[in-house]
Structure 1
Amino acid sequence: MRFVQRLELENIATQANAIAAAAGAVIAPVFHYFYGTGRTDIIVVLLFCIVLDWITGIQAAKKKDKTYSSEYGLSRIPRTLFLLALPALGNLLDRVMGTPGFLFYGVTFGLIYHTWNSLTANATRAGWPVPKAVAKLVESEIKAKTDRAMRQKEGK
């Protein structure tokens, strides 16, 4: 027997679909105002790096240093909001100065590079498979994270 779903108005016009459509209608123009048109992909890359940094950071703290606490994790939320606000500020300054994205792209790629270093160092510290050549590139970040974790451990 073959299952065929019929598209009927009562299946499409639901309260959940209306809320999702309204949210999209509000969020999309706000996103484009703050980040600029056609820049969704680069912001998604930055957001993806930030999420991976959180995941690897939690694992490194739990496995390597045994220093993870929910208070420390929650304190990272303002930092994350700041990281997401900087490209928007760069875009707004580009618009004010009439430059074609110099500040936006410079800030965004700088943040992606910084976050990439951090997540790679965290993954290495967590014992996840990271190529040795890549781990060597982030040695100073690994040392800084290890030192910070030890200071945090001593402060408990």
Structure 2
Amino acid sequence: MKFLQSLENVVTPANGIAATVGVFLTPIFQYLYGTGRFDILIVLFLMISLDWITGISAAKKDHTYSSDYGLSRIPRSLFLFALPAVANLLDRVMGTPGFLFYGVTFGLLYHTWNSLTANAHRAGWPVPKSVVNLVGSEIKAKTERAARKEQI
């Protein structure tokens, strides 16, 4: 009887809705991105999230933040999440399992790492000097872009 009472907390409408959504979305997710790729996509999601956080902090520090600019980053982020799906579908068409998917995904990870590291440096967060040297050109480009925005 105690076991059945504990199920009252599990069998709820919210859990039922979540399970139903999961049943329909999981095959779509696997079709778009392939199976066994959840970890690398989580890394990509986290890095894009960190890029947003560091970018907002850097823009607020140099007084170039605007909600219009922030909102324009949403389509960019959706585009970044769509590229690995397109690469996976091309892999399936061409019969190259994972070649394009991993190439595109690691390219995006590298690009996003450069961006978030440069943003963190611009925000004044502690970034090792050796890492700053690696992303120096990205820091310069972001600093120049912020200076142009200030003049407008």
Same fold (TM over 0.5): yes
Query: CA separation of 1:124/1:5 partners in 2, compared to 1, >3 Å: closer, same or farther?
Result: farther
**1:85 aligns to what?**
82
Q: Which amino acid aligns with 2:72?
A: S
Equivalent in the alignment of 1:23: 21
Structure 1 segments unaligned to the other structure (5+ residues) = none
* Partner Cα separation in structure 2 for residue 29 and residue 10 of structure 1: 29
Instruction: Measure how far apart 1:10 and its partner are.
Output: 2.5
Task: Give unmatched runs, 5+ long, in structure 2.
Answer: none
**TM-aligned CA deviation for residue 6 of structure 1:** 7.3
Between the two proteins, the alignment pairs up a number of residues equal to 151
Instruction: Give me the TM-score of the superposition, normalised by structure 2.
Output: 0.95
How many angstroms apart in 2 are the aligned matches of 1:25 and 1:5? 26
- Any idea what SS the aligned residue of 2:97 has? coil
Q: Structure 2: how far apart are the matches of 1:9 and 1:106?
A: 45
The 2-side partners of 1:9 and 1:110 are apart by 46
In 2, Cα distance between equivalents of 1:77 and 1:101:
27
Q: CA RMSD in A?
A: 1.5
Identify which of 40, 43, 49 aligns with 2:41.
43
Aligned residue in 2 for 1:67 = 64
Superposition TM-score, scaled by structure 1 size:
0.93
